[in-house]
Amino acid sequence: MADAQQLAQRILDTVGGSSNIADVENCMTRLRVEVASPGSVDLPALQATDGVMAAIAAGSNLQIVLGPGLVDRVANDLEALRAAAPVAAAGGAGASSAAAASGAFGASGASPEELAARGASIKASARSRSDGRTMRAIRKISAIFIPLIPALIACGLIAGINGILTNLGWVPGVTPFLGVLSSGFLSLLAVFVGMNAAKEFGGTPILGGAVGGIIVAAGVANVTVFGETLAPGQGGVLGALAGGILAAYIERFMRRVTPDVIALIVVPTVTVLVAGSITLGVLMSVAGVVSVAIGTAATWLLANGGAFAGFVLGGLFLPLVMTGMHQGLIPIHTTLIDQTGWTVLLPVLAMGGAGQIGACIALWVRFRSNASLVRTIRGALPAGFLGVGEPLIYGVTLPLGRPFTTACIGGAFGGGVVGLFDQLGHSVGAIAIGASDLSLIPLLNGSSGYAWALLGYGSGLVVAYVVGFVATLLFGVSDSVRADLEAQSAPGAPLDVVTAAQPADAKEAGPTGATR
C-alpha cells in the first residue's frame, strides 16, 4: 500500500510546491489540483511517481488518478502539507525540471509513462475545448454529490443483503434491523444534499441542511400551495439542491448588509426563513415535476428504445468519462434512486468500462511479448474490474487511439443487451452509485427482482467483454502502431522504437482520440 503522506509530499514537489497550488479537491478516484502556473508542474515526474495511476494536465487543472481510499488520504495529507509549508514563489526549478524531463521524455517509447503522456495530451485537448461555464457548473454540482457516494454504496450494499435474506426467508428477525440501517441515510438524503450545496456555493452547511430538511419534514403534508397539498419528500434531491444553493446566496447577501453586532441572529434567521419559504412554496413543486419527468423519461427511453437506446448510451459513456461530463449524471442517478429505488441508467452506462476491459485484454494477448504494455495493462486491470476505469482509459486505450473506439463498440453492444432486458419488461437497475463492472453486482435490483437484474447485467458484461476483445483483436490497432509494438517486443529492442507511431495515430485520430 502506498504511503499517503510520502505520496502527498511527492505530488507537492512535482506540482511546483504549495505556493503553486490554488485549490485541491477529490472525487472517488481522482485528485484534482488547480495550479497557478502550469509551467511549474513536472508532469513526467508526477506520472512516474509510484502510486499515481495516471496524471492528466488540462491547462491549470491537474487530474491525478490514485484510486479509491488512497485518494482521500492523500488529499487530506496534501492539504496538511500546504498548511504547514512556508510561502515560496512557484516556478524556477520546477519549470526547468519539467522542461528537462519533457526533453528526455519525448524520446521514450511505449512504456507506461509514454502511454500516460499520450493520454494526457489527448485529455488536455478535449478538456480545453469543454472547460467552459458548462463544465465548471457540472464539476461544481458533482462536488455536492461525490461526498455522498460512500454512504450510498454502504446503504445500497446493506439493502441488497437485506433483500436477498428477505427473499430467502432467512433470519427474519435480522431483516428489519438491516432495513433501518440501509434506509436511515436515504430518508435524510435531502438534508445532506442541502448541506453540501450550501457549502459548495459559499454558505454555511448547517443552514443548507435546515432548508433541505424542510423537504422531508412530516409537517409538509399539512401545507397547501397553489391548491396542491405537498407530500414529504416531494422534489427530492433536486429540491434540496436548489434550496441549498438558494440558501447560500441569501446568506452571503445578508452577511454583506447586516451589521456585525446582530449578524449572528439575523443572518441565519433570514436565510432559513426566506430560502425555506421559497423552497416550500415553489421549489418543491417545481422540482417534483422535474423529478417525475426524469424518472418517466429514463424508464420510457429504455422500455421503448430498448436495445437501440442501450447501444447508444453504452457506446457514448467512455467519451463522457474522458471529458468529465459523466459527473453531470450524478444528480440524475440520485434522483432516480430517490424516486424509484434504483437507477436504470447506471447498469447500461457501466458497459463502457466492460468493453474497455475486453479491449485491454485483447491488447495483452496480441502484444504479450511487449513487457511495457503488458505491465501497464496488468497493473490497471484489477482496478478496471472493480469499476475504476481511468487507468485503462488514460494509460492504454486512449493513447493508442483505435482501442478506445473498439472499447466503445464493446460497451455499445453490452448496453444494447441490458437495454433489451428493459424493453422485455425486466428492468435492470442499481440501488446505489459509485460502483461499476463487477463491484456493481451486489447493488443490482429491478422490476422483476434481483435474479432478473443479475441475468441482464451479467449478460451485458459478457457481451461487452467479448465484443470489446474481438473488435480490438481484429482491427483495434493501426498498422504503424502494430509494427512499432511488435518491433519493441523483439529481443534487445530499445524502449523508444514506438515513437514513430504517434504522428500516424495523431493524424488519423478524431477529436476524442477515436479513429475516424
Spatial CA neighbour of 234 closest among 247, 250, 217, 251 = 217
Instruction: Tell me if 403 sits within 8 A of 393, measured CB to CB.
Output: no
Kindly provide the residue ranges of all beta strands, DSSP E only, lying in 192-294, ordered along the sequence.
Answer: 224-225, 228-229
Q: Is 155 a catalytic residue?
A: no
Q: Name the grid cell of 323.
A: 471529458
Residues 6 or more apart from 105 whose CB is under 8 A from it?
44, 113, 114, 117
Residues 6 or more apart from 237 whose CB is under 8 A from it?
189, 190, 193, 331, 334, 335, 338
Pairing verdict, β 61-65 and 54-58 = antiparallel
Q: Three-class SS of residue 231? A: coil
- Distance spanning both ends of the chain, measured CA to CA: 41
**CA-angle at 58, arms to 52 and 64, nearest 5°:** 15
Catalytic option among 27, 155, 360, 408? 27
Instruction: Tell me if 74 sits within 8 A of 4, measured CB to CB.
Output: yes
- Report how far residue 65's alpha carbon sits from residue 119's, in angstroms, rounded to the nearest whole number: 13
Task: Please compute, for residue 305, the number of CA atoms within 13 A of its CA located in the half-sphere on the CB side.
Answer: 18
Q: Return the residue matching grid coordinates 507511431.
A: 501
Strand partners for 429: 445
Strand partners for 58: 61
**433: buried, middle or exposed (CB in 10 Å: 19+, 13-18, 0-12)?**
buried
Q: Name the grid cell of 101.
A: 524531463
- Report how far residue 153's alpha carbon sits from residue 141's, in angstroms, rounded to the nearest whole number: 19
- Report how far residue 514's alpha carbon sits from residue 78's, in angstroms, rounded to the nearest whole number: 35
- Report how far residue 384's alpha carbon sits from residue 359's, in angstroms, rounded to the nearest whole number: 12
Spatial CA neighbour of 511 closest among 132, 124, 133 = 124
Q: Give residue 195's identity as a one-letter amino acid code.
A: M
- Report how far residue 390's alpha carbon sits from residue 403's, in angstroms, rounded to the nearest whole number: 14
CB neighbour burial string for 240-267, b if at least 16 within 10 angstroms, e if fewer: bbbbbbbbbebbeebbeeeeeeeeeeeb
Task: Please compute, for residue 15, the number of CA atoms within 13 A of its CA located in the half-sphere on the CB side.
Answer: 30
Instruction: Tell me if 472 sits within 8 A of 478, measured CB to CB.
Output: no
Q: Active-site residues: which are they?
A: 27
